[in-house]
Chains A and B, each alone.
Chain A
Amino acid sequence: MANTQAICNSFKTELLNGHHAFGTSVTRGATTADTFKLALFLASATINKSTTAYSTTGELAASGNYTAGGVTLTNGNAPANASDTSYWTPSANAQWTSFTSSGAFDCALLYNSTQSNKAVAAYTFSSQSISAGTFTLTMPTNDQTTGLLRIA
């Protein structure tokens, strides 16, 4: 079992079907941006391009201030485009405080909690563990070359 960093195949299709709205210029019933969350997964989990939706399978166990489902991302950045690349990055870092991880973790799943928890992308990083402490996932610069989610 291993996690693999990828933009989820289901998300690619869901983009075409209008299931996701990072910004407010949507042509749907609702005109508000969807709520996106980030959840942490154990290194032994199997989060990858075939992940279609968030589930608790393989997620860190709830402990201290880590709760199932992870954290809601701050969405103060409207999607933008530069040099033929559209991009979006949360406007604040993701942070979990005062918790002890139930094991080593190396993956964060970005998902849309407004749209039935549909998966967007899986981000892997060096394996981490936390003891009575804080984990901060600092976001990359929000532009066309480093943004968290880019479509070229």
Chain B
Amino acid sequence: MSAHLPRFDDASQTWSEPELVETTRGLWPAAGLERVVTHQETESEWNSAVEYRLGDELVHRSARTHLKEGLRLEGGQVAFG
């Protein structure tokens, strides 16, 4: 994974902050961008995202979704008679 992509660290629950960020405009100094991190928990997942904006323009967004659980197939009840 590129060193210019923010990485989510599960232990600290934080995003890394590369000095140069991969953006829709190419590599861009993070110092010149507005950085916003959001966290959201729902019944079934934990979400986190990091966004970088150049003025009003979204130039980078990475996200991580952690599924709390998968899917369960239940066996049906069997009746005799």
> Could you list which residues of chain A lie within 8 angstroms of chain B, going by C-beta atoms?
5-7, 12, 85, 87, 89, 95, 97-98, 100, 121, 123, 125-126, 128-140, 145-152
Contact = CB atoms under 8 A, between A and B. Distances in A.
A138 B65 contact: yes
Give the dominant DSSP class at B's interface.
strand
Interface in B13-41: 22-24, 40
Contacts of A140: 66-70
A133 B63 contact: yes
A134 B8 CA distance: 10
Interface residues on B, range: 35 or more
B58 A131 contact: yes
Given A133-B62, A150-B72, A98 B45 contact: no
Given A132-B59, A134-B6, A138-B10, A7 B73 contact: yes
Contacts of B65: 125-126, 128, 135-138
B74 interface: yes
11 contacts: A89-B70, A95-B1, A121-B70, A123-B67, A123-B71, A131-B24, A131-B61, A132-B60, A134-B6, A136-B8, A149-B71
